[in-house]
Copies of this chain bind each other. A is one copy, B any other.
Amino acid sequence: MSRTAVIAGVGPGLGESIAERFAEEGCSVALLARSESYLNSLADRLRDQTPGNATAIPTDLTDSDDIEAAFERTRERFGAVDILVNHASAASWDGLLEQDPEDFRQALAVGPESALHCSQEAVPDMVEGDGGTVIFTGATTSVRGREGAVGFSAAKFACRGLAESMARELGPEGVHVAHVVIDGGILPPGSDPDDSEEYLDPDAIADNYWYLVEQDRSAWTLELDLRPHVEEF
Q: Does A216 contact B (CB under 8 A)?
A: yes
- Give chain A interface residues in 65-105, CB to chain B under 8 Å: 95-97, 99, 101, 104-105
| Chain A 22-53 per-residue mask, 1 if CB under 8 angstroms from chain B, else 0 | 00000000000000000000000000000000
Is the Cβ of A104 less than 8 Å from the Cβ of B113? yes
Residues of chain B lying within 8 A (CB to CB) of residue A64: 101
Is the Cβ of B120 less than 8 Å from the Cβ of A147? no
Residues of chain B lying within 8 A (CB to CB) of residue A223: 225
Is the Cβ of B165 less than 8 Å from the Cβ of A146? yes
Q: Using C-beta atoms within 8 Å of the partner chain, give the interface range for chain A.
A: 35 or more
Bound complex: CA A115 to CA B148 (Å): 16
Residues of chain B lying within 8 A (CB to CB) of residue A116: 96, 99, 101, 104, 150, 154
Is the Cβ of B224 less than 8 Å from the Cβ of A221? yes
| Top 9 A-B pairs, shortest CB-CB distance | A145-B164, A157-B161, A147-B168, A158-B158, A145-B165, A204-B216, A153-B165, A153-B161, A201-B218
